[in-house]
Structure 1
Amino acid sequence: MPKHDLFSIGEVAQMFHLSVGSLRHYEKAGLLKPEYISPESGYRYYSTRQFEVLTTIRFLRILDMPLEQIRDFLNNREISKMQHMLQNQKEAILQKKKELELMERKIDQQLVLIEDAIHSDLGRISVKHILEKRVAWLKNTVSPKSYFDLETSIRQLENGQNGAGIWLGKIGVGIALSRLKEHAFSTYDMVFLTLDFDEPYTGTTEIWPACDCACLRFCGSHKDAPRQYELLLNWIKENRMVPYGFSRETTLIDDGITSDPDRFVTEIQIPVHPIQE
């Protein structure tokens, strides 16, 4: 082929908005061999008949098609094969889209949680109606001083979840009702993970029904909670209510978000109902 009908690797890279490195990578992967390689200089040249192949490669790469599949197709080009490849890639993209949408929702939830925690009315006790929750939980006795002391339990809840994504504010601990009544707050009887209702999880889950809870947010973490339980239970008694379920305690802002202990925020919720006269 006459030299004037050839294009240098730099010219081809510029025409197709690629780097020279990408073209060399395609050559090494067996996708696109240069039309001519100068024996003296080693310079690579391409002809127009290779442009359509390069267009196909770029199209399939934009679809995130693996190079191995592209090479296999180029070595055996058939309409049905292209259809099959595109259908498979579409299904993979739809699955990835679902995963990205779930991640976007997790990010939005985390931003809302942090913003809400930042503006907490610390030390104020009130009764809130807590919506039903889907949870996975372990009956583990733990005495956490910080979020990181829960790591062993978190790993158990994550086991086999294929990247379930445990986020701050979704892991909590609880004290059984019997020990709340005894004012025994040094250890916890359970560790739980709050899940979205449509969030994939291969382990056992259950629905905690909606309930009214006496709630208190305070500056600190789990190690600071015993004093807050005393305040909360005294308030419940003074307001002629009784606890009827285990506590739910979560760190909304802790070591995982900030190194400043003065900005830690933890919330305790205890299900309550009025004393029947």
Structure 2
Amino acid sequence: MKDFFTIGEISKLFDINAKTLRYYDDIDLFKPSHVNLQNKYRYYTLDQFQYLETIKYLKELGLSLDKIKYHLNNVNAEAVIHSLEEQNQIIDQKISELQLIKQKIDTKIIQIKDSTRNDLLECIREIDFDERQALQLRNSIKSNYDIELSLRKLAQLSENNIYLTYGIVGVSIAREKLIDRQFCEHDSVFVMIDNESHNEKFIKVFQKGTYVCIRFNGIHKDTPPYYNKLLNYINERGYKILDGSLEMELIDPSLSLTDKEVVIELQILVKKY
């Protein structure tokens, strides 16, 4: 029977990097049974295999090295159960976060597929929406630089993470400016949210109702002609504008090669008489 195993042999047997085994030695988590004083080679024995297997198992469960070290030095069933229950809570939280991300990805896929429909481009439509929520930061916005900076600030101020990649991002022009046809400056930036918990200070509720909408290929600086089309449509029908605009990136620049592949949709809440 083989009495000693080198660090290289242990590395292969347990699929653990030799550098990791040396680190375990340095932090007194898993020390070799014997060290050659002349060449500093580390040697391990067969009776250490179960100990290392336990370390691997606890690490795969997600326990930190500090917790693993503590439990191996204070082995008792109650402590292990408590630690595993804590880890279960962490895993449940991660599952919830991943489910939320998956839901947002599924929504994003549907949104992008709908956005690529050429038959809906540059057509004015009246769409009834249910109440929607967004995180909104009020700020003077005059350029794409201002938009990106405001989004970063909004992400920092949010109590929970917001998923800028998966959520619909947009800017808004105040109702008064819309009526006066002032389209050069936006008054806020927003990110659509579902049922996540966020700081109520930044939550904006977009009312349930009829929105006059138009979408087009282009970026935010290309919006004035389309705003004029919507306003002409609204005025011709005698509708009343109830709130500021929603100017949303259905296909944002990060997913497009050129500005002409970006899809923007304008929405204005109206009241019909």
TM-score by length of 2: 0.87
How large is the Cα RMSD of the aligned pairs?
Answer: 2.4
8 A contact 1:125–1:214 mirrored in 2 = yes
1:28 and 1:85 map into 2 onto residues whose CA distance is 24
Moved more, 4-13 or 28-37: 4-13
- Report the Cα offset of residue 245 of structure 1: 2.5
Moved more, 236-245 or 253-262: 236-245
Q: For 1:84-103, what aligned pairs fall within 5 Å after superposition?
A: 84-103=82-101
- Give 1:20's aligned residue: 18
Query: Given the superposition, is the C-alpha separation of residues 209 and 166 from structure 1 closer, same or farther in structure 2, using an over 3 Å criterion?
Result: same
AA aligned to 1:153 is S
- Report the Cα offset of residue 111 of structure 1: 2.9
2:154 and 2:82 map into 1 onto residues whose CA distance is 38
8 A contact 2:7–2:44 mirrored in 1 = yes
Moved more, 231-240 or 88-97: 231-240
8 A contact 2:215–2:266 mirrored in 1 = yes
AA aligned to 2:179 is K
Q: For 1:115-126, what aligned pairs fall within 5 Å after superposition?
A: 115-120=113-118, 121-126=120-125
Aligned residues: 270
* 1:53 partner SS: helix
In the alignment, structure 2 segments of 5+ residues that lack a partner are none
* 1:4 partner SS: coil
Query: Given the superposition, is the C-alpha separation of residues 47 and 80 from structure 1 closer, same or farther in structure 2, using an over 3 Å criterion?
Result: same
Q: 2:206 aligns with which of 181, 205, 208?
A: 208
- Give 2:129's aligned residue: 130
Q: For 1:19-98, what aligned pairs fall within 5 Å after superposition?
A: 19-98=17-96
- Report the Cα offset of residue 79 of structure 1: 2.0
1:245 and 1:256 map into 2 onto residues whose CA distance is 29
AA aligned to 1:228 is Y
2:102 and 2:23 map into 1 onto residues whose CA distance is 34
1:44 and 1:180 map into 2 onto residues whose CA distance is 75
- Give 1:155's aligned residue: 152
AA aligned to 1:125 is I
**How high is the sequence identity, in percent, across the aligned residues?**
33
- Report the Cα offset of residue 40 of structure 1: 4.3
Query: Given the superposition, is the C-alpha separation of residues 269 and 81 from structure 1 closer, same or farther in structure 2, using an over 3 Å criterion?
Result: same
In the alignment, structure 1 segments of 5+ residues that lack a partner are none
- Give 2:228's aligned residue: 230
AA aligned to 1:134 is Q
AA aligned to 1:135 is A
What whole-Å deviation, never above 9, does each CA across 1:99-118 have from its counterpart, x for those lacking one? 22222223333333333222
What whole-Å deviation, never above 9, does each CA across 1:80-104 have from its counterpart, x for those lacking one? 2212211111112212222222222
- Report the Cα offset of residue 248 of structure 1: 1.0
- Report the Cα offset of residue 170 of structure 1: 2.5
Query: Given the superposition, is the C-alpha separation of residues 48 and 258 from structure 1 closer, same or farther in structure 2, using an over 3 Å criterion?
Result: same
8 A contact 1:253–1:266 mirrored in 2 = yes
TM-score by length of 1: 0.86
8 A contact 1:168–1:252 mirrored in 2 = no
- Report the Cα offset of residue 168 of structure 1: 6.4
- Give 2:265's aligned residue: 267
